Amino acid sequence: MEIKTYKDLIVWKKSKELVISIYEVSRYFPKEEMFGITNQMRRAAVSITNNISEGTGRQYKKDTLQFLFIANGSLNEAENMVLIANELGFINETKIIELSEKLRKSDVY
């Protein structure tokens, strides 16, 4: 399969699935968390896909790699936020298992 755009990348597709799952799960977080954990978790997840897509549009491999490193950092941030939300009781165990699997599959490396 020829890769023409970032949309052809499996890691981008898996990361996009993660974003959708995080939005769905965080929809049920307490309303007072809208500008706290909810916002931060969503922004971290979206940052993964944004950096993958932006990096693949760069002319030089060094630039592309830098954006992939940033995407991986955002992945770690999203995972951290999921773990915190779990400990606060915002996410049930079934969803944690699902999100953990999607986080693992979204690993940029």
49-92 pLDDT tens trace: 999 999 999 889 999 999 999 999 999 999 999 999 999 999 99
Give the predicted TM-score (pTM) of the model.
Answer: 0.90
- Contacts of residue 71, defined as CB under 8 A and 6 or more positions apart, other chains included, come to 15, 47, 48, 49, 50, 51, 52, 55, 108
Which domains, ranges and CATH numbers included, belong to the chain? 6-105 (1.20.1440.60)
What three-state secondary structure class fits 2? coil
- Residue 21 CA to its chain's centroid (Å): 9
Measure the CA–CA gap between 91 and 99, rounded to whole angstroms: 10
